[in-house]
Structure 1
Amino acid sequence: MITTREGGSSKAPFDSFNLGGKVGDDPEALRANTEKLAEGIGVPTANLVWMEQIHGRTATLVEGPQPEPVEATDALLTDRPGLALISLTADCVPILLGEPEAGVIAAVHAGRVGARVGVLVAALKSMRDAGADLGKVEALLGPAACGLCYEVPAEMQADVEKHLPGSACKTRKGTPGLDLRAGLWEQLAAVGIAKIGADPRCTVETPELFSHRRDDGKTGRFASVIWMEQEDA
C-alpha cells in the first residue's frame, strides 16, 4: 500500500498526510497521521515498524513490535503476521517484497546511494536467509523521481551505472540522468525475480506525492507499507 500527501492533518509545507518524523512537522499532526495510517490498514499503531533510513545497505529482521524506528537500516524484513513494515520516501525508490509461500516480506528504502551500494541485494539475501525462495518473490517498485527529472553530474551517473547497470539515462533536457527504478528492475531480474511491478508515477511530476527535489527539500514523506494479515484464532 502506498499513501499520498492527501487526507491528513499536517499544514504546509507538509500538507497534509506527512508520515516523516524528521522533517520538522508538528508532532501532533504527525501523531494523527500515524494513527490514521494504522486504522486504514487495520493494524495497531504499535505494530507499525519504521526505520531510521541512513542511505546504507543494512537489512534488519524484525520479530516483534518496535517502540522506536529501527536504527541505521534501510531495509526491514519479517516473517511475523501483523507487523506493517514501512519505507518513507519523497523521490527515493520504495521497494516492497513478498514471498507468499514462505511468509516473508520486506520493505526497502533505495535512494541513489543505497541503490548504488546494494541495499536491494542485501534485502533479498536476508529474505533468502529467512527461508524465502527468490524465484517466488513478488516485487513492487514504488513512485520515485523518474529519469527524465533526475539530473546528475556525468561523473555521478557513470559511477552509479557501474554499480547499478541500467540506471543511466538522459533527462528531458538531454543532460545526464539516473533512472534508479530501471537499474533496480534489472537487479531484481538478474537474481531471478519473475514477478516485478512498478508504480509509474514520478514524484517530481505528481502533485499528490511528496518530492524533495520539486519542493526544495522542505516537504513531507509518503509511506509504502507491506504487511501480512494475522490469521483468525
Structure 2
Amino acid sequence: MSVPFERSAGLGVHHGFFGRAGGMSQGEFAGANMSTSVGDDPEAVAANRRSAADALGFSSGLQLLKQVHSADVLALTEPLSQPGTIAADALVTDRPGLLLAILTADCTPILLADQEAGVIGAAHAGWRGAVDGVVGNTVAAMRKLGADPARVVAAIGPTITQPNYEVGEQFRADFLALHPAGERFFTTPPGKRAHFDLPGFVEDQLRRAGVGTIERVGGCTYAHPDRYFSHRYATHQGTRTGRQVSVIGLT
C-alpha cells in the first residue's frame, strides 16, 4: 500500500507531510486517515499509520499526543507507552528512532530540525495554540536539547489559508487583545467577515523565536479536499473527515 507524502527541501532529516492519498480508510475518511477519534475503522487507521512509518523507512510506531490546542511541549526520550494519551501539542527529541507525529485537518503542522545538533520538533498550531505560544515554546524546548534557533529549519505544512479562514470580529478582537500588532494578519473581504492568516502568523512566531530558515510545503487544506482532510470543508458539506499526519524522525 503506497502512502505518498510531501517534503521540505531543507529539513535534512527523515520527514513527511502526508495528505489523504493512499491508505485503507473508506467512505468519508477515504484515504490515509490517521485518527482513531473520528469514527473510522481502527484497523484501517492502524494500517495507515504503519504505512506512514514504513514510507519514511522506520519500523517504530508514530509518537502521537492527545492534542488539546495548548502551548504545551513534551520532550521525548523514549517511545510513548500509550500514544495519544498525553495532553500536549508539540514534541521535541534528540533521540534517534522516535517518529514525532502531529495530526491536523486545517490547523498548521510544523516540523523543525537542527540537523547539526541532532534535535527535531513537531508542533500542532491551531489558532488557540499559536496565540498562546506553542511555536516559541517548541523552539525553546529544542534549545534546551542543544539546538541553535539560527540553525533550525522549520517547515510549515498543509493548512487552511486566509482566503478560506473566515473568523469574525470577536475572534479578531480577542486576538488583537493578546497581539496588538497583529492587524496585518487579518483581511475583511467586501461584504464578508474577517479572515485570518494562520500560517502567516505561525511564520511570524517562528521568526520571533529566532528560527533561521522557514519553508512552506503543500497547499490549502480547505481548497483541496481531494488532497487533504479539512474539518471546516467537511463541516460546510455536512460530513465527517479524517486527519492527516506530519512526521519527523532521526536515524
Q: TM-score, normalised by structure 2?
A: 0.86
Aligned twin of 1:146? 161
Structure 1 residue 199 and structure 2 residue 217: aligned? yes
Q: 2:94 aligns with which of 79, 83, 90?
A: 79
Which residue identity does 1:197 align to in structure 2? E
1:47-126 paired onto structure 2 within 5 Å: 48-69=62-83, 71-126=86-141
Structure 1 residue 208 and structure 2 residue 230: aligned?
Answer: no
SS at match of 1:185: helix
Q: Structure 1 residues 168-177 or 68-77, which shifts more? A: 168-177
The 8 Å contact of residues 114 and 147 in structure 2, kept in 1 or not, is answered as yes
| Counterpart AA for 2:201 | G
Q: State the distance in 2 between where 1:21 and 1:52 align.
A: 11
Q: CA deviation at 1:173?
A: 6.2
1:12 positional shift = 1.2
What CA deviation, in whole Å up to 9, does each residue of 1:29-70 have, x standing for no partner? 111111211211111243x21111000011000011113225
1:133 match = 148
Partner of 2:188: 170
Counterpart AA for 2:79: P
Q: Which residue of the partner structure matches residue 35 of structure 2? A: 20
Structure 1 residues 23, 101: closer, same or farther in 2, change over 3 A? same
* Structure 1 stretches lacking a partner, 5+ long: none
Match of 2:243 among 190, 214, 221: 221
Change (3 A) 1:161 1:198: farther
CA contact (8 A) 1:167 1:181 kept: no
**For residue 40 of structure 1, what is the aligned residue in structure 2?**
55
Q: Is the 8 A contact 2:60 2:98 kept in 1?
A: no
Contact 1:98–1:106, Cα closer than 8 Å, also in 2 = yes
Distance 1:37 1:200 in 2: 17
Cα root mean square deviation, aligned:
1.6
Q: In the alignment, is the contact (CA less than 8 A) between 1:77 and 1:85 conserved in 2?
A: yes
- Counterpart code for 2:246: S
Contact map agreement 1:148 1:170 (CA 8 A) in 2: no
Q: Whole-Å Cα distance in 2 between the matches of residues 147 and 171 of structure 1?
A: 11
Q: C-alpha offsets along residues 115-142 of structure 1, whole Å, 9 cap, x if unaligned?
A: 1111111111111111111111110111
- Aligned partners of 2:113, 2:66: CA distance in 1, in Å? 21
What is the DSSP-based 3-state SS (H/G/I as helix, E as strand, rest coil) of the residue aligned with 1:184? Answer: helix
Query: Aligned equivalents of 1:60 and 1:93: distance in 2?
Result: 18
Give deviations 1:87-116, integer Å, cap 9, x for gaps: 100000000111111111000000011111
Which sits farther off after the overlay, 149-158 or 204-213? 149-158
When normalised by structure 1's length, the TM-score is 0.92
Contact 2:73 2:88 in 1 (8 A): yes
Question: Within the alignment, does 1:181 sit opposite 2:233 as a pair?
Answer: no
How far apart are the structure 2 equivalents of 1:197 and 1:212? 24
Distance in structure 1 (CA, Å) of the matches to 2:125 and 2:248 = 16
Contact 1:34 1:45 in 2 (8 A): no
* Residue in 2 that maps onto 1:29: 44
**Identical aligned residues as a percent:** 38
Cα contact 1:59–1:122 (8 A) shared by 2: yes
